[in-house]
Structure 1
Amino acid sequence: MDTALVIGGTRFIGRHTVTELLDHDYEVTIFNRGNHENPFAEEERVNHVAGDRNDQTALEAAAVSIAPDLVIDCVAYRPEQVRRATEAFADARYVYVSSGSSYGAEHVPKREGETPLEPCSAEQASDDSPETYGARKAEGDRAVMEAADRGIDAMALRPCIVYGPHDYTERLDYWIDRVLTHDRVVVPGDGQHLWHRVYVEDVASALRVVGESGVPGEAYNVGDRRLLTLRETLETIAEVAGTAVDVVTAGERELAAGGLSSEEFPLYREYPHVMSTATLTDLGWDSTPVKEAMARTVSEHEESDRDGAEHDPGRDAEERVLGVLDTF
């Protein structure tokens, strides 16, 4: 394959995907509305087509003018968008960026083809609220399977929580900022909770690998090969940053002393979320060593202005929790 079209392509997963494709000698075109700064504006090997992905005529025009061998859809959030894209690009290999949130059962680990998906009603399918995100992604997976049944080379990739440079969600940025600016950091629970994460460059490489070698109609989980607990995450951040951190765990009673609860902290999940990556690995994919991935993430964080403030439960409240713990 020589030509690739990335729907999205300028923010986080899409941005790294464009770089991955360029590194593997693809001619790349970005298709989006142009609402965000284009980091590839000066890159001669990247073309840009302005268009709304919800405009079927625009999608079909892009399919005709570009005739891509590979389409990677980074911004399909409703199943109807997947159905329209697979029709418009029926002559290409199509990879839909789904999500680990599409799974509807708390299995450990979650496996493709075994763990049930979230159901999705007609009302949920057209909704845009966070509460229906997993259901909508699951229905997008089913749309991929339906397209494959019609002879279209469509596949899905299910990332878990994605982290890395240029992460506009700032969920991990909150913890990086805490480690870099405070000696003692409050972590809810016992610090041993597992929420599977995946380095963004590995998502990008997985999208390319699935696009080149994936089986139509199949979905592929992608996640770090080594999982870190929340405590280990903070300790790894400190290690790669060349600093130290005192991870202070706090149960619900101690958190309540500061007017806090566990759910107010980013990347905390009571029940473990773990996904098997064996199916993707069988295609030849591998992940970046977690310490190397974290080092790149922390380095870019230090150069950015992101601090995860929107996820901050409040340092004053944490200090009250620390004060309570110090009396024990």
Structure 2
Amino acid sequence: MDALVIGGTRFIGRHTVAELLAHDYAVTVFNRGNHGNPFENDVEHIEGDRTDREDLARAAERNPDVIIDCVAYHPEEVRTAIELFDGSRYVVISSGAAYGAEEIPKRESETALHECTAEQATDDSWETYGPRKAEIDRVVSDAAADGAAATSVRPPVVYGPHDYTERFDYWLDRVRNHDRVVVPGDGDCLRHLVFVEDVARALRVVAEEGSSGAAYNVGDRRLPILSEWVELVADALDTEVEIVTANERELAVADLEPDDFPLYRSYPHVLDTNRLSALGWEATPIEDALAHTVEDHRASERTGRENGPDRGAEERVLAVLDTL
């Protein structure tokens, strides 16, 4: 089987290429070449801009069996890709942010998606990310109704090796370097996460077994709350940490809010993954996922510190809490 990965060298795409190679796919990567190729001679490379129709048409001349689209952020990009790769099985990465209704859990065929205006569809801000991904899913569904073999995969926040967002690295860095860590609220924030290798495997499984037009949630099998994640990280780092919870009033002494901490969410975000599991997909045990994540974090220069409060602000909160 031939597969073409749009993206393919940074985070989810990088792991997707590795997953496909491990399952005997001949892989070609299509991207702008702005990042080094970690696969050397194991994959072919087509340089181009996925937003340029002529570049994408050149990649489509390969007639791959499978397309994995890791860098689609606007609905029109997906319409163009599905049109040009007619005859291939197309899988695009959507997002759990596509859901517009706050339900527990969010189910693919039941939970309402965000609406997306014409202005939002071409915007690049974080505020329109969810609506744009929702519209991408509608493009996939409409294309499948016209006969295209198109599907989508919806992950929540993704963590693991090579995570350039560094959201999870913030907590790894805190636990690695400090014996006391502030966790916002009561530490009971519930936000579904997913290990990057599980996303890569989901993309392959959906390409092979998924139903055209369908969307598939992907997420860790277990759902630790934020304070439990910190404890799991401490175990993975073979260290101990004191978790100090702080409410809004206590955080305010350092001009902080709960939303200043990465992975915090005021309302639970949980995805139902039964549809994907029915295809034979399984999640990696969290302890194993964290072992790989910690190993990569130690070898990297990532700290994630820009994603959350600086240590000085955290220490001001700790000092006030110590007086109570």
User: TM-score, structure 1 length as denominator?
Assistant: 0.98
Q: Which residue number in structure 1 is paired with residue 82 of structure 2?
A: 86
Long gaps (5+) in structure 1: none
Please say if 1:55 is aligned against 2:52: yes
Provide the residue aligned with 1:146 in structure 2.
Answer: 142
Residue from 275, 286, 289 that aligns with 2:285:
289
1:312 is displaced (CA, Å) by 3.0
C-alpha separation in 2, matches of 1:113 and 1:198 = 20
Partners in 1 of 2:315 and 2:35 — Cα distance?
38
Separation of aligned partners in 2, 1:259 and 1:188: 13
CA distance in 1, matches of 2:114, 2:183: 30
Quick one: distance in 2 between partners of 1:14 and 1:31? 11
The more displaced of 308-317 and 174-183 is 308-317
For residues 164 and 228 of structure 1, what CA distance do their matches in structure 2 show? Answer: 16
Aligned to 1:232: 228
Q: Residue 192 of structure 2 aligns to which amino acid in structure 1?
A: H
Residue 4 of structure 2 corresponds to 5
Aligned sequence identity (%) = 62
Q: Deviations over 1:194-250 (max 9, x none)?
A: 110000000000000000000000000000000111101010010011100000000
The one-letter code of the counterpart of 1:61 is: R
Report the CA distance between 1:109 and its aligned residue: 0.1
CA distance in 2 between counterparts of 1:319 and 1:181 reads 13
For the residues of structure 2 that align with 1:33 and 1:311, how far apart are their CA atoms? 27
Residue 27 of structure 1 deviates from its aligned partner by: 0.1
2:31 corresponding residue in structure 1: 32
| Partner of residue 195, structure 2 | 199
Cα distance, 1:45 vs. partner? 2.6
Aligned-partner residue type, residue 231 of structure 2? E
**Count of matched residue pairs:** 324
**Mapping 1:102-141, distance limit 5 Å:** 102-141=98-137
Question: What SS does structure 1 have at the residue aligned with 2:28?
Answer: strand
Letter in 2 for 1:80: E
1:178: how far off? 0.2
- Kindly indicate whether residue 247 of structure 2 is the aligned counterpart of residue 248 of structure 1: no
Paired amino acid for 1:139: E
Task: Measure how far apart 1:54 and its partner are.
Answer: 1.1
Structure 2: how far apart are the matches of 1:183 and 1:189?
19
Q: Is the counterpart of residue 211 in structure 1 residue 207 in structure 2? A: yes
CA RMSD of aligned residues (A): 0.7
Note the alpha carbon deviations across 1:122-170, whole angstroms, 9 max, x for none.
0000000110000000000000011101101000000010000000000
SS in 1 for 2:168: helix
Give SS of 2:245's match: strand
State the alpha-carbon separation in 2 of the partners of residues 132 and 126 from structure 1: 9
SS in 2 for 1:284: coil
Letter in 1 for 2:44: N
- Supply the AA of the counterpart residue of 2:114: E
Are 2:69 and 1:69 equivalent residues in the alignment? no
In the alignment, the residues of structure 1 paired with residue 224 and residue 56 of structure 2 have an alpha-carbon distance, to the nearest angstrom, of 40
Return the alpha-carbon distance in structure 2 between the equivalents of residues 290 and 9 of structure 1. Answer: 24
Does residue 171 (structure 1) correspond to residue 167 (structure 2)? The answer is: yes
Correspondence list, 1:302-313, <5 A: 302-313=298-309
Structure 2 segments unaligned to the other structure (5+ residues):
none
Question: Which residue pairs with 1:46 in the alignment?
Answer: 43
